[in-house]
Amino acid sequence: MTLSWQQPIATMRCDRAWVEISLGSLAHNIHQLQSLLSAKTHLMAVVKADAYGHGAVTVAETVLQAGASWLGVATVPEGIELREAGISAPILILGATHTPEQIKAIAHWQLQPTVCSFKQALVFAETLKTTNQLLPVHLKLDTGMSRLGPSWQQAVEFVQLIQGVPNLKIASIYSHLATAESIDQTILRQQQQNFEQAITQIKRSNLQLFQHKQIQPALHLANSAATLTAPDLHYDMVRVGLAMYGLYPAVHLAVIDLKPVMQVKARITQVKKIPAGTGVSYGHKFVSDRAMQIAVVGIGYADGVPRNLSNQMTVLVRGQQVPQIGAITMDQLMLDVSAIADVHEGEVVTLLGEDGSQKISADDWAKQLNTISWEILCSFKHRLPRVAVP
């Protein structure tokens, strides 16, 4: 029997703080990005890290309906989560997988792995040799990122090794750009040249791989930044992460209208008055210089609000910017709401997002913290429920 005072946990989690995900803005961003692509270029939506903190399953369903045709994840469990949710679209695992257990799971769940080393390819060969399954794989070359993949100069040898494994089929060849958001395109263009030289060498030494247009491997290189400003790097597919979530990798890349998808909100849990000379929060890093009305808000660094923003950030209350004061604590933070009359418990505070004509973005926090907006989006913990809104 359910007692009358009991409240469903899912509802209760929104009593203090939550993250709103605008599915309308997400679909809008996909449409805007597609407007940059030719008909032959597919859009891969990168939904790794729980879709940059937005909620992988909900985001994946929305972007596929909006026109994306591929999904990108970092790990095998991330791919399995999408399959268990009933998503059947092709899923590329962007990270490296090495163990027989991972490879068997990839085959079982019909995921598509990145193969990025000679040793890894041999583990795939050994694990799959007793099966009849043909596994599509995606070869990653290092063209200047110095991360995953053999050097682009080894492309021919790498392709030949993979073609010698009966159970593997090369579905694509790709690389990753290191400086695509930079105004100076020197390194980007060098990476493009390296990539294209590798493909030319493969074609010259292995005509069979590219002989039939219907079955030849796809080529992809562009991330969000290159998708926005370099059409010649779109090839057969682009891999879009940050831009899909409504943020630009750099200010000069704002060539289409993107809408932030995430808003972070919390409720005021107590309002009180303090006299001049009163210390606020741990360490008394803030001491009031006058009588103040302060509000305690039910969100803190355990939820993903960076503690280093203490005494630096502002939030929105009733469409007005108000300063945060004192050290941000694990579960709570304090505001100076002296300028707003009759603030009361239960009012909504917007930490990231829009309220009236005012807005605060992940870019604002990133600039204050000397970091990147990617990190801000990914920092919000699962204690904050994701609430889908239009």
Report residue 131's pLDDT band, with 50, 70 and 90 as the boundaries. confident
> What does 78-145 look like in DSSP terms, one character per residue?
HHHHHHHTT--S-EEEEEE--SHHHHHHHHHTT-EEEE-SHHHHHHHHHHHTT----EEEEEE-BSSS
Q: 390 and 22 in contact (C-beta within 8 Å)? A: yes
- The residues, ordered by sequence, that sit 6+ positions from 352 with a Cβ below 8 Å of its Cβ are 260, 262, 263, 264, 360, 361, 362, 365, 376
Taken in order 169, 173, 175, 180, is the CA torsion positive or negative? negative
Q: Where are the beta strands (DSSP E) in the chain?
A: 17-22, 42-46, 70-73, 91-96, 112-115, 135-140, 168-174, 218-220, 237-240, 262-274, 279-280, 286-287, 292-297, 314-317, 320-325, 333-336, 348-355, 358-360, 386-389
What mean pLDDT is predicted for residues 359-386?
Answer: 97
Place domain 262-360 in its CATH homologous superfamily. Answer: Lyase, Ornithine Decarboxylase; Chain A, domain 1 (2.40.37.10)
Residue 55 has pLDDT above 70, yes or no: yes
Q: 166 and 121 in contact (C-beta within 8 Å)? A: no
Domain 23-247 has CATH 3.40.30.10: no
Give the number of other CB atoms < 10 A from CB of residue 9: 8
Question: Alpha-carbon distance 283 to 299, whole Å?
Answer: 19
Q: What is the 3-state secondary structure of 243-286?
A: HHHCCCCCHHHCCCCCCCCEEEEEEEEEEEEECCCCEECHHHCE
Read off the pLDDT of residues 290-337 as tens digits, 9 standing for 90 and up. Answer: 999 999 999 999 999 999 999 999 999 999 999 999 999 999 999 999
Report residue 132's pLDDT band, with 50, 70 and 90 as the boundaries. confident
Counting runs of H as helices and runs of E as strands, what totals does the chain give?
12, 19
Question: Alpha-carbon distance 277 to 264, whole Å?
Answer: 32
Residue 228 has pLDDT above 90, yes or no: yes
Q: 117 and 96 in contact (C-beta within 8 Å)? A: yes
Question: Alpha-carbon distance 206 to 162, whole Å?
Answer: 12
Which of the listed ranges 10-14, 208-212, 377-381 does the model predict with the highest average pLDDT? 377-381
Domain locations along the chain: 23-247, 262-360
Taken in order 361, 306, 272, 279, is the CA torsion positive or negative? negative
**Phi and psi (nearest 5°) for 252?**
-70, -5
Q: 140 and 116 in contact (C-beta within 8 Å)? A: yes
Note the pLDDT of residue 2.
47
Would strands 292-297 and 218-220 be described as parallel, antiparallel, or unpaired? unpaired
The half-sphere exposure of 113 on its side-chain side, counting CA atoms within 13 A, is 29
**What type of residue sits at position 375?**
E
Question: Alpha-carbon distance 177 to 332, whole Å?
Answer: 39
- The answer to whether the annotation marks 330 as part of a ligand binding site is yes
Q: 374 and 318 in contact (C-beta within 8 Å)? A: no
**Phi and psi (nearest 5°) for 279?**
-80, 145
Residues forming the active site: 48, 282
Total count of residues recorded for the chain? 390
Read off the pLDDT of residues 152-201 as tens digits, 9 standing for 90 and up. Answer: 999 999 999 999 998 999 999 999 999 999 999 999 999 999 999 999 99
Residue 214 has pLDDT above 70, yes or no: no
Task: For residue 234, give both structure tokens.
Answer: 């779109």
